[in-house]
Structure 1
Amino acid sequence: MKRALVSLLCFLFLVCGCSLDAQPSSEMEFRILTYNVQNLMDDKLDGDEYPEYRPSESWNTASYRMRLRTLNEVVTNRSIGLCDVCIFQEIENERVLSDLLDNHLGRKGYLWYAFAKEEGSSIGVGMVSRRKPKHVAVHAVEGSRPVLEAVFDTPRGEVVIFGLHAKSQIGEYEETEAMRLELSRVLGQAAKRHEGKLIILCGDFNTDPDAYRSASTVQPALIGIESQKARTYMGSGSLGITGERAHVYSDVWYSPYLDRSNSFAKPGSYFYGGAWHHYDQFLGNEFLFDGLGWEYGSCQILAPPVCLKTDGTPNGWNLQTLSGVSDHLPVLLTLLRR
């Protein structure tokens, strides 16, 4: 009970009184962006920030505002367009979202935001949206970051979105995967409360959707349903995933990355250790393909020029040189009206 109260105290949901010059959200598309923005801190000394982001000659109001401008440049890039909902990872606090809307995104119709992080943590999960949420909640995860939930009521039915940021791969794999597994367990339980609705899980899962193929000795957070251990693992917390649209069910999630009929502009959304990874993911339930309401349209790894280095990998943020954007690329899910 105490952990839930702590999470709720760390959660903020506010309405931003920004002026508008944007068109209303489309009724033919519902677009969701997930983006790990890499340590976007504000310019205030709060005590929770990473030590290198305490106000200094290099990190100050000017450099903070520069990062906000850069994020706005990415989110409003023509290759992305206007989204209904943006889920951000590695945001310091709600003030960052408020400043982003007040000074930039509010002019594009992003009026609402929400934020959640564990008490004492340096970073959390944030959401900005052009549609007003019907309901917002936070789900505590033992030993990991909380999950942000938002429900949107649309003319084509409710859309339930869970925004997350799983434990990183830093440390012993068995220990970090156990934390990612606990996150999957919380997501599965929370999703059951929205039976009969379209549900989207999105964010930085910090694991590839096919990682289970090489993790035979550890129960994975995500398990392909073709695996012999799938049902056993799904019964104890793993999320069952597939790229086969006909096999998506109430407890089997669709992964666009596993769907061979999909093609992507980049071989991954994150580049680390000399290899591309698909850590930034969308998972959807069976209502993506029921022929009613919102249906799956596309999933895209986006690569605006500002987000790339000359070698085509993500242009990560560098605090020392005050250059770059993020070590992740944004990923966009588009739902279409049927």
Structure 2
Amino acid sequence: MKIATYNVENLFDMNDDGNEYEEYIPNGTWGWDEAMYRTKLRHTATVIQGIGADIIGLQEIESESALKDLKAELNRQGIYYPYYAFARGKNSTVNTALLSRYPIQSALKIPVSYNRRYRDILDAKVNINGTFLHVFVNHWKSKSGPESERILSAKRLMLRLDELPANEPFVLIGDFNSHFEEYRTFLKSRKHNDTEGITGINHILKTIDTDGNPVTYTSLQNHSGYLYNLWYDLPEEKRWSHRYKGHGEGLDNIIISPALADDQGLEYVQGSFARYDPPYLFQKGKVFRWQQSRKYPKHHLGEGYSDHLPIYAVFEIKP
């Protein structure tokens, strides 16, 4: 069973509900019209088809309507996800979603804050041949703000994790807007480090130990309080899914619980974590994001995919 996550970069529908970014106002000056929308749907579905995931978390989906249109486009391309879940925060612009080939037993949206800048976390309990797995789809606050804003999401997520029964398996996926080693990369940034070196993804979610070292797959098996970030399964040069000013960042993450590494029941297949990075997702050596003109009048060009690369991992059920 393959689980993936993909920030699709602004999939907006054709309904004008007043929360859109300027460039995605239906039939506005940027040219976001029905034809452009259908192009974006086709491109997004092509990537999802290529990933071939059984369960995929999505970020930057405007509405349930857009999610259903994406499902319909996937159907046209021969890819079927019978089950879905969607989490929309109050007046939020973009949201999180989940597509699944396995039944979704329940789905909750976890509000981080009543401020519209914070996107709800989606908690979907998926029935995988009689074994239940909680899949948490995240899209934390962007790095336009300091680390304290992402810590708010991390703490809210931990409150929910603490409510789960002991040893119930869960996986955290999504765009955390946090490098998997944020505790190292943000230290000298005055804009981001307003927390005296404490990070949401590393300290609050406990992907580093008390000595400040990254949790390994082996240490995860021996310490129930930690979580393991799958980026460490890849060589260092491949540990990125997004580029900012030429530097690779692992902002998209898949983080597993100890129950997925205890050699029984549902298990992570060690070494299966990967980045989906076929040549068509790149142009001139850069990630081929959705294209908009640089010259006035600015408009959508109908080319490209997303500014993020998808990532995925494989799991299996052991006797």
For normalisation by structure 1, the TM-score amounts to: 0.80
Distance (Å, rounded) in 1 between the aligned partners of 2:33 and 2:132: 41
Whether 1:150 and 2:124 are equivalent positions in the alignment is yes
CA contact (8 A) 2:58 2:96 kept: yes
Distance (Å, rounded) in 1 between the aligned partners of 2:257 and 2:25: 42
State the partner residue of 1:278: 250
CA contact (8 A) 1:156 1:294 kept: no
* Residue 207 (structure 1) aligned to one of 167, 173, 178: 178
- The within-5 A match list for 1:42-53 is 42-53=13-24
* Residue 118 (structure 1) aligned to one of 65, 71, 89: 89
Distance (Å, rounded) in 1 between the aligned partners of 2:237 and 2:48: 17
Distance (Å, rounded) in 2 between the aligned partners of 1:189 and 1:324: 38
User: What's the % identity of the aligned pairs?
Assistant: 29
State the partner residue of 2:296: none
Whether 1:165 and 2:139 are equivalent positions in the alignment is yes
Q: Would the alpha carbon gap of residues 227 and 211 (structure 1) be closer, same or farther in structure 2, given more than 3 Å must change?
A: farther
Cα offsets for 1:159-210 (capped at 9, x unmatched): 1100010111113xxxx31121111111111112222211100000101111
Whether 1:33 and 2:12 are equivalent positions in the alignment is no
Q: Would the alpha carbon gap of residues 203 and 87 (structure 1) be closer, same or farther in structure 2, given more than 3 Å must change?
A: same
State the partner residue of 1:327: 307
Shift of 1:154: 2.2
Q: Which stretch of the first structure deviates more once superposed, 249-258 or 201-210? A: 249-258
* Residue 97 (structure 1) aligned to one of 67, 70, 91: 67
Distance (Å, rounded) in 2 between the aligned partners of 1:245 and 1:105: 40
- The within-5 A match list for 1:308-319 is 308-311=282-285, 313-319=286-292
CA contact (8 A) 1:306 1:325 kept: no
Whether 1:66 and 2:45 are equivalent positions in the alignment is no
For normalisation by structure 2, the TM-score amounts to: 0.84
Distance (Å, rounded) in 2 between the aligned partners of 1:281 and 1:245: 19
Shift of 1:274: 1.4
CA contact (8 A) 2:231 2:239 kept: no
State the partner residue of 1:109: 80
Whether 1:287 and 2:259 are equivalent positions in the alignment is yes
Which letter does structure 2 place at the counterpart of 1:325? Answer: Y
CA contact (8 A) 1:149 1:161 kept: yes
CA contact (8 A) 2:88 2:109 kept: no
Shift of 1:84: 1.8
* Residue 178 (structure 1) aligned to one of 148, 151, 158: 148
Structure 2 counterpart SS, 1:242: coil
Which letter does structure 2 place at the counterpart of 1:331? Answer: I
Distance (Å, rounded) in 1 between the aligned partners of 2:237 and 2:283: 15
Q: Would the alpha carbon gap of residues 111 and 156 (structure 1) be closer, same or farther in structure 2, given more than 3 Å must change?
A: closer
Shift of 1:275: 0.1
Any stretches of 5+ residues in structure 2 without a counterpart? 188-195, 293-298
Distance (Å, rounded) in 1 between the aligned partners of 2:131 and 2:85: 22
Q: Which stretch of the first structure deviates more once superposed, 195-204 or 100-109? A: 100-109
Whether 1:187 and 2:160 are equivalent positions in the alignment is no
Shift of 1:214: 4.4
RMSD after superposition: 2.1
Q: Would the alpha carbon gap of residues 264 and 159 (structure 1) be closer, same or farther in structure 2, given more than 3 Å must change?
A: farther
Shift of 1:121: 1.6
